[in-house]
Structure 1
Amino acid sequence: MLSFLAKRVPRTQTASRTTLLFDEGRSSIQFKAPGDKYLVVNHWPPASSEQDRNIALRPPLHWHRHQTEHFHVLSGQARFTLDGREIVKRAGESIVIPAQAFHTFCNASATEALAVELVLEPAWRARDEAFFRNVQSYRDDCRKAGVARSLPQVLLFNWAGGVVLALPGPPVLARLGGILMNFWGGLVLGKYVLGYQESYPEYYSPKQE
């Protein structure tokens, strides 16, 4: 193991928090109660500047290996990219993202804040919460430390969460390339060579039933 080569940052204790703030408080992610239908609520500022269009919560184009994803817009307007199509959903509207569909989303308005709640599937709730908490808390700790995120660490989080980056090219090759990147870059290099973890106790603590 070459863990001495890994990029480490101080980890903030966020596991007990129900709301995590990012981008100096302009955006946040709120975790819902275990019995709620939805898992989290994302709060985004109006997309009035480049800074607010590229907030911490904006996901890259990606896909989920197994889960169907459900979004419900609480307020504002969300622009979804789904397999190359642009779809705008407004307050009270929902959208279903099928498993393995390439997608991302952002705030579609330059004047309104966006609140959107989402869930994958109940069977994956604990894994999904661990993924969101680890990815976002790690991102914010890197921001506070003034360092770039480690790609092998991010890929390891993705591997554990069933999330795959949507690479360019023909879909079949793009999917295979994304899975291989998670495996070799995240699991092999990230975990077994550099000593990163799929989850950190500072970021996520499993709920006791």
Structure 2
Amino acid sequence: MLSFLAKRVPRTVTANQNPVIFDGGRSRIEFKAPTDRYLVVNRWPPNSGEANRNIALRPPLHWHRHQTETFHVLQGTAEFLYNGQKILKNAGDLITIPAKAIHTFRNYSESEELVIEFVLEPQWRERDEAFFRNVQSYRDDCRKAGVPRSLPQVLLFNWVGGVVLALPGPAIVAKPLGILLNFFGGLVLGKYILGYKSSYPEYYKVLI
């Protein structure tokens, strides 16, 4: 193991926080009760200025290997990029993204907050909470430290969470390459060579 080569950042203890506050108070995520239909509520700032566009909650273009994802806009306007198309959803609207569909979303408005709740497959609630807590807390800690995120660490989070980055090129080639990138970059290099973990006790109460 070559863990001395890994890039470490000080980890903020967020495991017992709900909601969890990111980006100096500009964004937050709240995890809902296990009996609720939805898993989390995200609150985003208006999409104005680089600091607000690059927030901890904003996902890169990606797809889920096995899970369907359902979004419900509570306030504001969300812009979804879904299989190459831009779709706007307003308060009260729903959108469901099937497994393997490439997507991301953001706050469309430059003046109004976006509040949006969503859930993946209900049977994976604990794993998904661990994933979001780790990914978003790690991203915010890198912001605080003023350092870029470690790609092997991000890929390891993604490997466990069933999330695959959308790579350029034809899907028939890019999607298998994305899975291989998670496996070799995240599991092999990230975990077994560099010593990263798929979950940290500072971010989530149970190691997975």
Tell me the TM-score normalised to structure 2 length. 0.97
Structure 1 partner of 2:177: 177
Deviates more, 1:50-59 or 1:22-31: 50-59
Q: State the AA in 1 paired with 2:29.
A: I
Structure 2 partner of 1:108: 108
Deviates more, 1:53-62 or 1:82-91: 53-62
Structure 1 partner of 2:56: 56
Q: 2:166 aligned with 1:133, yes or no?
A: no
Structure 2 partner of 1:34: 34
Instruction: State the SS of the aligned residue for 1:169.
Output: coil
Q: 2:50 aligned with 1:66, yes or no?
A: no
Structure 1 partner of 2:89: 89
RMSD: 1.2
Instruction: Quote the offset at 1:53 in angstroms.
Output: 2.1
Instruction: State the SS of the aligned residue for 1:66.
Output: coil
Equivalent pairs: percent with the same residue? Answer: 72
Q: Distance in 2 between matches of 1:7 and 1:47?
A: 30
Instruction: State the SS of the aligned residue for 2:130.
Output: helix
Q: Distance in 1 between matches of 2:184 and 2:202?
A: 26
Q: Distance in 2 between matches of 1:133 and 1:205?
A: 10
Query: Which 4+ residue blocks in structure 1 deviate beyond 3 angstroms?
Result: none
Instruction: State the SS of the aligned residue for 1:14.
Output: coil
Structure 2 partner of 1:146: 146
Structure 2 partner of 1:199: 199
Instruction: Quote the offset at 1:203 in angstroms.
Output: 0.7
Q: State the AA in 1 paired with 2:67.
A: Q
Q: Distance in 2 between matches of 1:23 and 1:117?
A: 19
Which runs of 5 or more structure 2 residues have no equivalent in the other structure?
none
Structure 2 partner of 1:124: 124
Q: Distance in 2 between matches of 1:112 and 1:186?
A: 37
Which runs of 5 or more structure 1 residues have no equivalent in the other structure?
none
Instruction: State the SS of the aligned residue for 1:43.
Output: strand
Instruction: State the SS of the aligned residue for 2:71.
Output: strand
Q: Distance in 1 between matches of 2:78 and 2:153?
A: 29
Q: Distance in 1 between matches of 2:146 and 2:49?
A: 22
Instruction: Quote the offset at 1:48 in angstroms.
Output: 2.2
Q: State the AA in 2 paired with 1:193.
A: I
Structure 1 partner of 2:17: 17
Q: Distance in 2 between matches of 1:145 and 1:45?
A: 21
Q: Distance in 2 between matches of 1:175 and 1:11?
A: 32
Instruction: State the SS of the aligned residue for 1:179.
Output: helix
Q: State the AA in 2 paired with 1:152.
A: P
Instruction: Quote the offset at 1:51 in angstroms.
Output: 2.5
Instruction: Quote the offset at 1:145 in angstroms.
Output: 1.7
Tell me the TM-score normalised to structure 1 length. 0.96
